[in-house]
């Protein structure tokens, strides 16, 4: 091989290395399974613990808390997309250990510790206007509790409150509910076990209260491993499977099932002088716990939030100082959940044409449908399909999300019906009737919304069913019955002709009487003539 050929071969090899291998590496990296893993992100600007985290429109708000400077009123917002923090309007009342909840575009900060005292004060942050307002306070001042929203109601249970004994504070079991719409409070069923420093989250209408601590009469705190579940619909508490170990001042969130399986995550905490870095995963359906990957730093009293099924752990206390750490956790099977498709139309009933309507719980790159198990056809939004034969059919909708996961809806059976209703007239038939009143009797082969008839080609008469045709005149008549079914299909019966011929009783009676009178008169005349003739004969 010549030097020139060798040089060209070397350049070609370099070109292949530079242009082919990097894309292959990038592809492998992009497809790498990063689920069940923690990743460090941009630290929060202000180190603190006992803060509250709330999510509105995909942004995480870190509010209040405590550090070496005391209670804080700071409000910092984190954008997971840009991995950047920004400062927002400060909370009017600096505090820590409060309950926090987000509803619509507002964040509710309730109770907490202010110095050596507890407060019931509630302040509301409007994320749109970046302003705060004060609303009706919680009836029982307390701290180290959680807030959970169900159907526009904020539930607050337990927490640390004042005590008349020594020490002068302890845990409470009280449950109080705040109605966002009316700005009012009410009292609900108390917790079976009074707690402070627990974690909680909501699935459907149930609140899951995990771990926590109890203070003895001597002032010693002891963590618990209990799982108490409150049904907001019935007001009843039940117990679930306990944590593997007692723990308190950890945090909990729930994943939605859109990007990761729907699970409850309890992370971090403190027990028996040790700070935890563990991630505990609770399967609601199985009532069981399993362990996930550990955080990089054991800590407690931190904030936890979930955005798009990615979990964010912010701030906290490691035993010596307030932290500004910000880490994200991607749960098991993150990004591997297929889209959930719900068919809104058709339902299991009859239609004149097929109108396809559906809902999908995540962004998708393609949607299609299969009619009667035939090949898939692409759907573009809501679609009306008119060229389907009458009869029963099935439809299934499929979708691919942006990560390549394919989901399928339930299969729905429906009927296409464009056939006119069939009406059969039973009475009258094509015959002669001796009565002037006829009961129109007929049957229709399907449910109807409108019925009527035409008698002798006259104006159409609405009816609700079988009807009497009164006082028909002698002679020939005709009738047609019309019907409209539930889908608007119109049909008519065949025309039936019939005759009315009533029995002539009066006429016959009159004729008979006249005949009798004539016969009687004739008889009398004949008799008289005979007598006259007889008398004349005698005289001669």
Q: Distance (Å, rounded) from C-alpha 208 to C-alpha 239?
A: 9
Residues facing 384 on adjacent strands: 355
**Are the beta carbons of 390 and 416 closer than 8 angstroms?**
yes
CATH of domain 423-500: 2.60.40.10
Q: What is the pLDDT of residues 454-503, one digit of tens each?
A: 999 999 999 999 999 999 999 999 999 999 999 999 999 999 999 999 97
Residue 514's pLDDT is what? 66
For 486, half-sphere exposure in the C-beta direction (CA atoms, 13 angstrom radius) is 9
* Residue 208 clears pLDDT 70, i.e. is over it: yes
> According to CATH, where is 2.120.10.80 located in the chain?
36-330
> According to CATH, where is 2.60.40.10 located in the chain?
341-416, 423-500
* Residue 9 clears pLDDT 60, i.e. is over it: no
Mean pLDDT of 20-32: 34
Mean pLDDT of 164-176: 82
* Residue 537 clears pLDDT 70, i.e. is over it: no
Residue 94's pLDDT is what? 98
Assign domain 341-416 to its CATH superfamily: Immunoglobulins (2.60.40.10)
Across all residues in the chain, what is the average pLDDT? 90
Q: What is the pLDDT of residues 256-296, one digit of tens each?
A: 999 999 999 999 999 888 999 999 999 999 999 999 999 99
Mean pLDDT of 103-110: 97
Please report which confidence band the pLDDT of residue 516 belongs to, taking 50, 70 and 90 as the band edges.
Answer: confident
Mean pLDDT of 188-216: 95
> Residues 488, 489, 490, 492: what is their CA dihedral angle, to the nearest 10 degrees?
-140
Q: What is the pLDDT of residues 247-256, one digit of tens each?
A: 999 999 999 9
By percentage, how much of the chain surpasses pLDDT 70? 87
CB atoms within 10 A of CB 321: 12
Nearby residues of 42 by Cβ (< 8 Å), 6 or more positions away:
78, 83, 84, 85, 326
Residue 25's pLDDT is what? 29
Q: Which of 8-22, 34-48, 455-469, 470-484 has the lowest mean pLDDT?
A: 8-22
By percentage, how much of the chain surpasses pLDDT 90? 81
Residue 8's pLDDT is what? 36
Nearby residues of 442 by Cβ (< 8 Å), 6 or more positions away:
423, 424, 425, 426, 466, 481, 493
Q: Give DSSP secondary structure letters for 308-349.
A: TTEEEEE--B-SSSBB--EEEEEPTTTT-PPPPEEEEES-SS
Residue 416's pLDDT is what? 96
Nearby residues of 322 by Cβ (< 8 Å), 6 or more positions away:
47, 48, 49, 65, 66, 67, 68, 315, 316
Q: What is the pLDDT of residues 297-353, one digit of tens each?
A: 999 999 999 999 999 999 999 999 999 999 999 999 999 999 999 999 999 999 999
Mean pLDDT of 24-46: 68
Handedness of CA 189, 195, 197, 200 (dihedral sign): negative
Q: Give DSSP secondary structure letters for 471-510.
A: SPPSEEEEEEEEEEETT--EEEPPPEEEEE----HHHHHH
Residue 407's pLDDT is what? 97
- 36-330 CATH pick, 3.40.718.10, 2.40.37.10, 3.30.300.10, 2.120.10.80: 2.120.10.80
* Residue 506 clears pLDDT 50, i.e. is over it: no
CB atoms within 10 A of CB 19: 9
Most confidently predicted of 211-220, 460-469, 500-509: 460-469
CB atoms within 10 A of CB 480: 18
* Residue 7 clears pLDDT 60, i.e. is over it: no
The DSSP secondary-structure symbol of 224 reads B
pTM: predicted TM-score of the whole model, two decimal places: 0.77
Residue 32's pLDDT is what? 47
């Amino acid at each position: 091989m010549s030097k020139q050929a060798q040089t060209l071969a070397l350049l070609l090899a370099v070109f292949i290395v530079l242009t082919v291998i990097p894309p292959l590496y990038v592809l492998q990296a992009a497809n790498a399974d990063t689920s069940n893993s923690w990743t460090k992100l941009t630290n929060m600007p202000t180190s603190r613990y006992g803060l509250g985290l709330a999510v509105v429109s995909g942004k995480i708000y870190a509010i209040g808390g405590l550090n070496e400077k005391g209670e804080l009123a700071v409000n910092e917002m984190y954008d997971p997309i840009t991995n950047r923090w920004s400062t927002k309007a400060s909370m009017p009342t600096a505090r820590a250990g409060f309950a926090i909840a987000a509803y619509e575009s507002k964040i509710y900060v309730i109770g907490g510790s202010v110095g050596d005292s507890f407060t019931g004060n509630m302040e509301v942050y409007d994320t749109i206007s970046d302003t705060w307002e004060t609303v009706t306070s919680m009836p029982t001042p307390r701290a180290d509790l959680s807030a959970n929203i169900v159907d526009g109601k904020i539930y607050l249970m337990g927490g640390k409150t004042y005590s008349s004994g020594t020490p002068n504070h302890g845990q409470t079991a009280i449950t109080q509910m705040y109605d966002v719409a009316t700005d009012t409070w009410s009292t609900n069923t108390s917790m079976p076990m009074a707690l402070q420093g627990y974690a909680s989250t909501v699935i459907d209408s149930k609140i899951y209260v995990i771990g926590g601590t109890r203070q003895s009469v001597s002032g010693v705190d002891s963590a618990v491993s209990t799982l108490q579940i409150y049904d907001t619909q019935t007001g009843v508490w039940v117990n679930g499977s306990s944590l593997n170990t007692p723990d308190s001042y950890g945090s909990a969130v729930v994943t939605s099932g859109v990007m990761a399986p729907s699970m409850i995550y309890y992370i971090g905490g403190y027990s028996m002088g040790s700070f935890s870095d563990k991630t505990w995963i609770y399967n609601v359906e199985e009532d069981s716990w399993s362990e996930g990957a550990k955080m990089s730093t054991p800590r407690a009293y931190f904030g936890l939030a979930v955005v798009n099924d990615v979990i964010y752990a912010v701030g906290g206390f490691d035993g010596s100082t307030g932290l500004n750490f910000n880490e994200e956790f991607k749960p098991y099977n993150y990004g591997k959940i297929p889209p959930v498709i719900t068919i809104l139309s058709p339902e299991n009933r009859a239609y004149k044409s097929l109108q396809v309507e559906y809902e999908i719980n995540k962004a998708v790159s393609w949607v299609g449908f299969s009619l009667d198990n035939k090949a898939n056809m692409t759907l573009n939004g809501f679609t009306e399909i008119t060229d389907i034969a009458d009869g029963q059919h099935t439809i299934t909708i499929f979708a691919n999300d942006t990560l390549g996961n394919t989901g399928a809806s339930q299969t729905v059976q429906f009927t296409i019906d464009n056939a006119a209703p069939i009406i059969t007239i039973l009475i009258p038939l094509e015959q002669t009737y001796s009565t002037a009143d006829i009961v129109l009797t007929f049957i229709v082969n399907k449910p109807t919304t409108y019925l009527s008839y035409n008698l002798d080609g006259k104006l159409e008469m609405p009816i609700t069913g079988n009807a009497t045709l009164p006082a028909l005149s002698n002679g020939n008549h005709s009738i047609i019955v019309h019907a409209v079914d539930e889908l608007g299909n119109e049909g008519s019966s065949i025309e039936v002709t019939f005759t009315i011929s009533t029995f002539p009783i009066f006429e016959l009676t009159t004729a008979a009487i006249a005949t009798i009178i004539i016969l009687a008169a004739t008889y009398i005349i004949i008799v008289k003539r005979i007598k006259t003739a007889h008398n004349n004969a005698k005289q001669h």
